Amino acid sequence: MKSLKILLVLLALAIPHLPSAAENTIDNLNFSGDLRLRYEYQDNENAMNRGRARFRLRFNVKTKIDDNWSVGFRLASGSNNDPTSTNQSMDDNFTEKSIWIDRAYAVYRQGNFTFTGGKMANPFVSTNIIWDKDINPEGAAEQWHFGKTGYVTLAQMVLNENSAESDAYLVAVQGGFHFTFLSLNLAWYSFNNYVENAPAERGNLFENGTAYTLIDFLVKAHATDNLKFWIEYVNNTDAEKTLTTGEKENSAVGIGFSYRYENWKIKAKYADIEPNAVVGAFADSDFGYANRKGLKVAINRRLRKRVAIELAFFDTKQSTGSGNSAKTIQLDLKLNF
């Protein structure tokens, strides 16, 4: 009986505060998302030409728990076996399409320190030479900011848990300086036991004991508020000479720019990615993963505040070897909500 009385007293004290707590929870919830409708046509030298209608749907939920902690998740279209794409092709006779957990993460912030754990947005300053824009790595990342200029990011990422062999994982560190018109970023990525657990070669040559430890140097410059440039160099220090060419084939270089004028934006890049320069399964899928070189040009026109159309053209071929050239056109309608 005494316990019941205590419980009733606690409920009486708590109930007046429940509406306020619920109100705060609702106020802290943040919803957003985007829908992209795409028509893509590819003229591939070694395959049948292909035209596809596709869509991408993503839905974000974020909430702040207190002054330090927040959580979030994102649902997205796509498939469970391709980390580089959330596209869903319109096919299979009107069948329903799948929705997947694209992100699920917790964030802790204290002063200049941030911890993120779970399946998260890419924590590294990057282009899509190493990391496709749809990649959401899994594990933990810690970041320190030093004033408004310097930063250091550490990451411990799970690639594959293997009950029969050694697990595959990524350990990385990136540091850099951000100035008003320039940023300098240097990263070290160590992909441990990756080749034995690789989901696909995606242009890599898994020959002669090659492993993947990447040094990445990325410079970004803002000539004006509307004109931006970047240049990047990647070297895989653990590559071995390939049986195919007798060379290590372990470097990548890219350069690009973007220019915005009123409601128009143009972007262009050139990249040459040798077969063992990057981890192909995580590189830009639209460009053709690893062992690829060529050009991309995209023109974007904003129609409304949250509505835009974009036309992109890719002209690529193998970086090493002959053949397998491809020309791709993508026409997108993008809507944010």
Is the CA virtual torsion 65, 68, 69, 70 positive or negative?
A: positive
DSSP label at residue 283: S
Q: 3-state SS of the chain: helix, strand, coil percent to 5? A: 10, 55, 35
Are the beta carbons of 198 and 148 closer than 8 angstroms? Answer: no
Are the beta carbons of 172 and 124 closer than 8 angstroms? Answer: yes
Helix H, strand E, coil C: the string for 284-323 is CCCCCCCCEEEEEEEEEEEEECCEEEEEEEEEEECCCCCC
Nearest to 103 by CA among 75, 68, 71, 131: 75
Structure tokens at 126: 């990057």
C-alpha–C-alpha distance, residues 101 and 155, integer Å: 21
Structure tokens at 238: 């653990």
Are the beta carbons of 64 and 28 closer than 8 angstroms? Answer: yes
Nearest to 154 by CA among 137, 178, 131: 137
pLDDT value for 324: 85
pLDDT value for 18: 44
pLDDT digits (tens, 9 = 90+) for 39-65: 999 999 888 899 999 999 999 999 999
17 φ, ψ to 5°? -95, -10
Structure tokens at 11: 């409920």
Are the beta carbons of 330 and 311 closer than 8 angstroms? Answer: yes
pLDDT per residue, tens digit, the chain (337 aa), is 455 455 444 545 545 544 554 556 567 899 999 999 999 999 998 888 999 999 999 999 999 999 999 999 999 999 888 999 999 999 999 999 999 999 999 999 999 999 999 999 999 999 999 999 999 999 999 999 999 899 999 999 999 998 888 899 999 999 999 999 999 999 999 999 999 999 999 999 999 999 999 999 999 999 899 999 999 999 999 999 999 889 999 999 999 999 999 999 999 999 999 999 999 999 999 999 999 999 999 999 999 999 999 999 999 999 998 778 999 999 999 999 9
pLDDT value for 4: 44
Please state the domain extents for the chain. Answer: 34-336
pLDDT digits (tens, 9 = 90+) for 249-297: 999 999 999 999 999 999 999 999 999 999 999 999 999 999 999 999 9
pLDDT value for 78: 93
CATH superfamily of 34-336: Porin (2.40.160.10)
214 φ, ψ to 5°? -105, 140
Structure tokens at 261: 């004028």
| Cα-based angle 25, 29, 31 (whole degrees, multiple of 5) | 160
C-alpha–C-alpha distance, residues 144 and 211, integer Å: 29
Query: What are 330's strand-pairing partners?
Result: 40, 312
What letter represents residue 183's amino acid? S
pLDDT value for 14: 47
C-alpha–C-alpha distance, residues 121 and 137, integer Å: 7
Half-sphere exposure of residue 244: CA atoms within 13 angstroms, side-chain side: 15
C-alpha–C-alpha distance, residues 264 and 6, integer Å: 66
Q: What is the pTM of this model?
A: 0.91
